[in-house]
């Protein structure tokens, strides 16, 4: 009998050290590769109602899987307090993720709290959320009224049978499309639609997706199948390079490359030559963009990860619940970012197999957020 391994949340992290002498944040902290801290992605739940084959495969995340107890999760007040320290160091954009973030009860209250924060320049944050769309139709207007600005919706196929097979819970495409339209009507735009492309699974959906969203205000983005975590069975042969995706679309719907919106943007941008909208490709496997990465990630129970492919986090919750001041929290965050030297995707691009055999288990995407 083969032993079944259930991959649990990261229990290896320790509270970070607080520098013995520290100054107030200046709004500009840089890591060892001179990358500033601009984006914070906050996972607010490790639960999801989908079992996507590339993220939470059912054979691992089954009825026996042990999710985090509610007492382990950061409260909304704790999330906001930590977010304030990141903003003091220069964060301008916060994205709420999961799991499926809309499963977190009273999420609208958290959005209200985060929407009240201001950048070091006194501007509102760019406050966004990534969702599978399953609850979006019923929640879109309330999210907008709470202060959410935009949403990104995951949709991996237009063909209903393919989509149901990929989400593995028999959820219909039509319900996600209804959620996208509800979000558009509520003013949560421009909406980005993310499609993870896996060879032999949904690559035949590249052109149907492009055709469907051509001529709409929504931005379709194709994501290379990534080696996040240890449960999705990643193999390089399952990756369709973004250059090939652009070639396939461009053969039918000619496109012109665009400049990035800002330094560190994950997607390379393209526009249809006929004015039919925008497409993005996220190429963290074949065209690593580590050198411009400005993102930090906060897990559901308060562990800071400085890379999507990290093997260990830093326990900020221990500082929060240990009676430390805001000044001490800010100092710890600043020191962690200054020590950051992550460039996993660049190293993997140099040697695709060189990191897979290191024995270090990467944290799961469902735990850290995408």
Distances (CA, A) of 21 to 1, 32, 144: 56, 20, 42
* Annotated binding-site ranges for GTP: 41, 95, 130, 192, 295-297
Domain-embedded: residue 273:
yes
Domain-embedded: residue 323:
yes
* CATH code for the domain in which residue 307 is found: 3.20.20.70
Domain-embedded: residue 336:
yes
* Annotated binding-site ranges: 41, 48, 52, 54-55, 95, 99, 130, 154, 192, 226, 290, 293, 295-297, 307
Domain-embedded: residue 121:
yes
Domain-embedded: residue 157:
yes
The pLDDT tens digits for 181-222 are: 999 999 999 999 999 999 989 999 999 999 999 999 999 999
The pTM for the full model equals 0.89
Domain-embedded: residue 44:
yes
| Burial class, 263, CB count within 10 angstroms (exposed 0-12 / middle 13-18 / buried 19+) | exposed
* Annotated binding-site ranges for [4Fe-4S] cluster: 48, 52, 55, 290, 293, 307
Q: Spell out, as residue ranges, where the chain has pLDDT lower than 50.
A: 1-9, 353-359
* Annotated binding-site ranges for S-adenosyl-L-methionine: 54, 99, 154, 226
Please state the domain count of the chain: 1
Domain-embedded: residue 251:
yes
The pLDDT tens digits for 233-276 are: 567 788 899 999 999 999 999 999 999 887 777 889 999 999 99
pLDDT (0 to 100) of residue 355: 42
Q: What is the CA radius of gyration of the chain?
A: 20
Beta-bridge partner residues of 200:
none
| Burial class, 98, CB count within 10 angstroms (exposed 0-12 / middle 13-18 / buried 19+) | buried
Domain-embedded: residue 7:
no
Rounding to the nearest 10 degrees, give the CA dihedral for residues 140, 142, 143, 146. Answer: 160
Sheet containing 278-282: which strands, arranged edge to edge? 255-257, 267-272, 278-282, 219-224, 192-197, 150-154, 126-131, 93-97, 39-43, 295-298, 303-305, 314-315
Phi, psi of 233 (to 5 degrees): 65, 35
The pLDDT tens digits for 1-25 are: 334 333 444 555 678 989 888 888 9
Residues in the chain: 370
Structural domain that includes position 176: 39-350
Given a contact cutoff of 8 angstroms between Cβ atoms, the answer to whether 173 and 126 are in contact is: no
């Amino acid at each position: 009998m083969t032993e079944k391994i259930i991959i649990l949340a990261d229990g290896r992290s320790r509270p970070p050290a607080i520098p013995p002498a520290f100054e107030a944040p200046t709004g500009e902290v840089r890591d060892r590769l001179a990358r500033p801290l601009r984006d914070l992605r906050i996972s607010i739940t490790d639960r999801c109602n989908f079992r996507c084959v590339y993220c939470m495969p059912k054979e691992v995340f089954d009825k026996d899987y042990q999710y985090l107890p509610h007492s382990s999760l950061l409260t909304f007040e704790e999330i906001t307090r930590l977010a304030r320290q990141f903003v003091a160091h220069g964060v301008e954009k916060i994205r709420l993720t999961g799991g499926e973030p809309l499963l977190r009860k009273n999420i609208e209250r958290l959005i209200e709290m985060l929407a009240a924060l201001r950048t070091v320049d006194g501007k509102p944050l760019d406050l966004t959320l990534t969702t599978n769309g399953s609850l979006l139709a019923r929640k879109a207007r309330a999210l907008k009224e709470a202060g959410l600005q935009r949403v990104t919706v995951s949709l991996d196929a237009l063909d209903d049978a393919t989509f149901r097979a990929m989400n593995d819970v028999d959820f219909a495409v039509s319900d996600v499309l209804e959620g996208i339209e509800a979000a558009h009507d509520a003013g949560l735009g421009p909406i980005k639609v993310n499609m993870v492309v896996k060879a032999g699974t949904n690559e035949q959906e590249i052109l149907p997706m492009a055709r469907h969203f051509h001529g709409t205000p929504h931005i379709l983005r194709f994501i290379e199948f990534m080696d996040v975590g240890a449960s999705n069975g990643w193999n390089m042969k399952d990756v369709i390079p973004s250059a090939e995706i652009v070639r396939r679309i461009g053969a039918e719907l000619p496109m012109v490359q665009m400049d990035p919106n800002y330094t560190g943007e994950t997607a390379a941008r393209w526009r249809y030559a006929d004015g039919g909208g925008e497409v993005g490709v996220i190429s963290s496997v074949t065209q690593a963009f580590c050198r411009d990465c400005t993102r930090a990630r906060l897990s559901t129970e308060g562990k800071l990860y400085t890379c999507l492919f990290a093997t260990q986090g830093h326990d900020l919750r221990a500082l929060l619940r240990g009676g430390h001041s805001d000044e001490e929290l800010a100092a710890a965050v600043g020191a962690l970012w200054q020590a950051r030297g992550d460039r996993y995707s660049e190293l993997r691009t140099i040697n695709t197999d060189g990191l897979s055999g290191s024995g270090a288990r990467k944290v799961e995407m469902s735990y850290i957020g995408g």
